Chain A
Amino acid sequence: MPDGAMGQGIGASVLRKEDKRFLRGHGRYVADIARPRMLEAAIARSPVAHANGLKVVKPPGDEARVFIADDMAADGVEPIHVVSKFPGHKASDYPHLATDKLRFVGEAIAVCLADNRAAAEDLVAKTQISFDPLPPVVEMLDAVENPPALVYDDWGDNVILDSRFEENVDGINSAAVSVTRSLRMNRQAVNPLEGAAVLAEWDPRDERLVVHSSSQIPHILKNALCECLGLRQSQVHVIAPDVGGGFGYKCVLIPEEIYIPWVAMQVKRPVRWIQDRREHLVAAANAREHHYSVTLHADADGTFIGVEADIVVDSGAYSVYPHSNILESTMAGRTLHGPYKFSAYKVRSRAVATNKPPIVPYRGVARPGICFAMELAVDAMARQLGREPYDLRMQNLVPGDAMPYKTITGGEFDSGDYPEALRRAGSLINVAAVRERQANREADGCLIGVGFGCYIEMTALQTSAAARAGLAAIPGYEQAHIRLTPDGGLEIGVGVQNHGQGMETTLAQVACERLGVDIDMVAVRHGDTATSPYSTGTYASRSLIMAGGAVARTCDVLGENIRRIGAHLLQCEFDDTRIEAASVVGPSGNVTFEEVARVWHRNPEELPADIDPAGVEVTSGFRPKPDNSPFSYATHACIVSVDPELGQVEILDYVISEDCGTIVNPMVVDGQIIGGALQGVGTALLEESRYDADGQPLSSTFADYTMPGSTQLPKLRLDHLVTPSPLTEYGVKGLGEGGAIPPPAAIANAVNDALRGFNVEVTETPITPRRVLATIAGE
């Protein structure tokens, strides 16, 4: 291996290169950037969930500082329009600023500019808004069955897409045992610590729009800006500087990313908008919200036969670019099977429009809901059969010797041993000890329960799968650009965006593994459309698979070019050279990259005239062949304590046994999984974007939206299986999202185990004290 003895390549817990700036307060987020003559924007937003006849009166005297939809329309700005190729998908526009109709509380109506944010907010207060209220569509099941109104007048109903996924439906009839549950994962907010932020200015010197945005997808944002504003690609430059967490929210376009740049072009001054926490919670980053009516069918011996479900996903008022408003409903419908073997499948899934903010992809995308539904159904089946839930899972998981395994809905699990992950998690959590403990009363009167959550996650969604699913956004290949710098270092440009995942380190490790360059000599650049290869960006747990693969492949091409130069310097044949520890090694000696770089860049006279001028600057790419996605998987298991007097749930122990294939940086992998797991705990126990019957948000600050903190998950143990994926460079699988997927399932199952003496089950997240007490009371 070229990495040699440096210990900086694949598998090394290299300390992160990006830490230094953050530890000194030298990170640079959008809000940290100020431009001369910059104006700050504040947004007048809808105070009502549903209305038409919107009229806006700009504050007298300040009309030139306030912009509304009519101003944009007069300038020919196009709305955001996302059409899925899925048959039957009802298309809709997402207006940047509300036109006649208001569709959720917080929808942007007017942009107000001033020298500072406080003064801009003063202008918001002076902007007069009037409208004719309509009955709001708040509850998704009502929206389908008993709609109080139509979110889109011309649709005829509120169903965005009604899709069915059916295989061997009649097989269900042979079931000896069936259990049905009605389950709900409520709406929540994404809440990266840095909200969205946009700073835009027209650069008259370069004749281009320069937009800084806290984005996971700078190239996609650039596309949208060109489409909406009618600009050529050469006229837009997007920079995502340091991004303070994304988790999926920042892989969609938000209206501010269009109208703030447009406003900046109108006033010919830089304009900055920094989303505040209330805007984030109320007007933007909503996610999840699934309802499942799920029936699990099994043989008398517990062998699963089929799953039948009616899924409703509350997609909110608009379709977000580029992932659309059916991403969750179709993924839920197609992959409800999870890691289990089924011979029959009958799932209907509907995406529904309501007068709430559009839902956005959030870490796990649909799978936290799928996993919650399936895993609670599995436990219900175990109770029905009088079986230990662990045993029933073991009986039905797709076994390791079945890999690669075709799923009932046409997917393909590439590799892994799902039962082994369960076995290890079960052994770590020690079910037998819990059963023993449960036989005795706890001293504090609390009830103890153990629960499991198993999941699979398709990572790095590939072209043909995305096309087959009719998704609006179809990713392709991934490129990396690598330059051997004159000092013998590497500068790597990638189109994915790093916002906490440690890619400035892990992608450097890949290069280090390939070429043996010291990691301090490798710089990874990203987040700037002017300096990075085109990419659909960072989402779907794809970055290390795709950009990592691209870095590896590009290193190979670069390595060959370097060897050619080295062969000349060593006066030997190309075929007799190899790369080792940042040197070209030949039969009679070696030459360092530093020397190759010196000669190539500074002393080309030392090279023959016919040397290939392609040189030491290479762009190449990667995509799995065939373009299938590797599946990560894990079992989470936990022990909880339920206080039956207060309804509070405390997590006593939590274990994770996971397989993300080959691990590039164990420290970073653990960090991603732990961070995801705590977000899952938030979904399970704390976080909820609540709305009243009028569609008014009730969770508009961190005082009424409870975020998980340092005390929620005190004990956590990780265990890793490593089954390299046959599809990727080094066998890596995606792992950024997985940690967040099964905690709601595992925790709910543990709570239900604790409550089994009452013969009741919680069926809804978050599992709040109020819900627990209501459940115990049989309500």
Chain B
Amino acid sequence: MTELSLKINGEDIAADVEHRLSLADFIRDHRRLTGTHLGCEHGVCGACTVLMDGEPVRSCITLAAVADGTEITTIEGFDDDEPMSDLRQAFHENHALQCGYCTPGMLIAARDIVTRLPDAEEDRVRLELAGNLCRCTGYVGIVKAILSVLDQGRA
């Protein structure tokens, strides 16, 4: 077992966990924050994306032990976050989700795009989204939603 202390969604947390525990399983099974989803567990699908110290990372291939001392934000931790509020509304209005399974990771990846690349056009948005798989929507609604938030920011 290894001790860790970290912040999740602003809350200080100390825990004693197995060395092999992934950050995703720590968030989901130990902290019961189940909005972070596991889709592949080998870093390809993006469903498990969370913010670590403000940057999106794959929580399925990041050890909980490695997250010691960091600040983690999961989909449950964006209540007062303006870009996320805008994205949620845009996803809703553009039918950017169907089954909802990829949505938390997709939203966090989308937030990274709108904050890091405010000038991005459609081609770039599609390229940046290549690391998040959605089996339902065909991505059209997702791309539209992200572009609409980018456009708001540019207006």
**Is any CB of A less than 8 Å from a CB of B in the complex?**
yes
Interface residues of A (CB under 8 A from B): 15-16, 18-29, 31-32, 34, 116, 118, 191-194, 242-245, 247, 274, 276-277, 499-502, 667-668, 670-671, 674-679, 701-703, 707, 709-711, 713-714, 716
Evaluate contact between A702 and B45: CB separation under 8 angstroms.
yes
Ranked nearest first, the 8 interchain pairs of A and B with the lowest CB-CB distance are A25-B35, A22-B100, A244-B101, A500-B98, A500-B99, A25-B75, A32-B34, A674-B138
- Complex interface: chain B residues within 8 A of A22 (CB): 97, 100, 103
Evaluate contact between A677 and B99: CB separation under 8 angstroms.
no
Evaluate contact between A701 and B40: CB separation under 8 angstroms.
yes
- Complex interface: chain B residues within 8 A of A24 (CB): 35, 75-76, 88
Binary contact track B100-141/A, C-beta < 8 Å → 1, others 0:
111110010000000000000011011101101111111111
B47 interface contact, C-beta 8 A:
yes
Interface of B (DSSP majority class): loop
- Complex interface: chain B residues within 8 A of A674 (CB): 137-138, 140-141
Evaluate contact between B138 and A713: CB separation under 8 angstroms.
yes
- Complex interface: chain A residues within 8 A of B127 (CB): 710-711
- Complex interface: chain B residues within 8 A of A701 (CB): 40, 42, 44
Evaluate contact between A23 and B133: CB separation under 8 angstroms.
no
Task: Name A25's contact: one of B21, B92, B93, B104 (CB within 8 Å).
Answer: B104
Q: How many B residues touch A, CB cutoff 8 Å?
A: 55
- Complex interface: chain B residues within 8 A of A670 (CB): 95
CB-CB nearest in chain B for A191: B135
Evaluate contact between B138 and A194: CB separation under 8 angstroms.
no
Evaluate contact between A23 and B143: CB separation under 8 angstroms.
no
- Complex interface: chain A residues within 8 A of B102 (CB): 193
Q: How far is the CB of A703 from chain B (nearest CB, A)?
A: 7
Evaluate contact between B100 and A709: CB separation under 8 angstroms.
no
CB-CB nearest in chain A for B100: A22
Among A194, A499, A667, which residue has the most Cβ atoms of chain B within 10 A?
A194
Besides A499-B99, A702-B42, 4 other A-B contacts (C-beta < 8 A)? A31-B34, A192-B101, A702-B45, A702-B133
Evaluate contact between A193 and B45: CB separation under 8 angstroms.
yes
- Complex interface: chain B residues within 8 A of A713 (CB): 138-139
- Complex interface: chain B residues within 8 A of A501 (CB): 98
Q: How far is the CB of B90 from chain A (nearest CB, A)?
A: 10
Binary contact track B18-51/A, C-beta < 8 Å → 1, others 0:
1011000000110011111111111011010000
Evaluate contact between A707 and B133: CB separation under 8 angstroms.
yes
Evaluate contact between B93 and A15: CB separation under 8 angstroms.
yes
CA of A722 to CA of B75 in the docked complex: distance in angstroms? 40
Evaluate contact between A678 and B95: CB separation under 8 angstroms.
no
CB-CB nearest in chain A for B134: A193
- Complex interface: chain A residues within 8 A of B34 (CB): 25, 28-29, 31-32
CB-CB nearest in chain A for B107: A23
CA of A25 to CA of B108 in the docked complex: distance in angstroms? 11
CB-CB nearest in chain A for B123: A714
Task: Name B129's contact: one of A15, A21, A277, A709 (CB within 8 Å).
Answer: A709
Q: How far is the CB of B10 from chain A (nearest CB, A)?
A: 15
Q: How far is the CB of B49 from chain A (nearest CB, A)?
A: 12
Q: How far is the CB of A121 from chain B (nearest CB, A)?
A: 10
Task: Name B41's contact: one of A277, A678, A716 (CB within 8 Å).
Answer: A277
Among B20, B101, B130, which residue has the most Cβ atoms of chain A within 10 A?
B101
Q: How far is the CB of B8 from chain A (nearest CB, A)?
A: 13
Evaluate contact between A675 and B126: CB separation under 8 angstroms.
no
B142 interface contact, C-beta 8 A:
yes
- Complex interface: chain B residues within 8 A of A19 (CB): 91-92, 97, 100
- Complex interface: chain B residues within 8 A of A277 (CB): 39-42, 45
Evaluate contact between B40 and A702: CB separation under 8 angstroms.
yes
- Complex interface: chain A residues within 8 A of B135 (CB): 191-193, 245, 247, 675, 679, 707
Task: Name A245's contact: one of B18, B38, B101 (CB within 8 Å).
Answer: B101
Task: Name A710's contact: one of B18, B98, B104, B139 (CB within 8 Å).
Answer: B139
- Complex interface: chain A residues within 8 A of B36 (CB): 25
Q: How far is the CB of A268 from chain B (nearest CB, A)?
A: 22
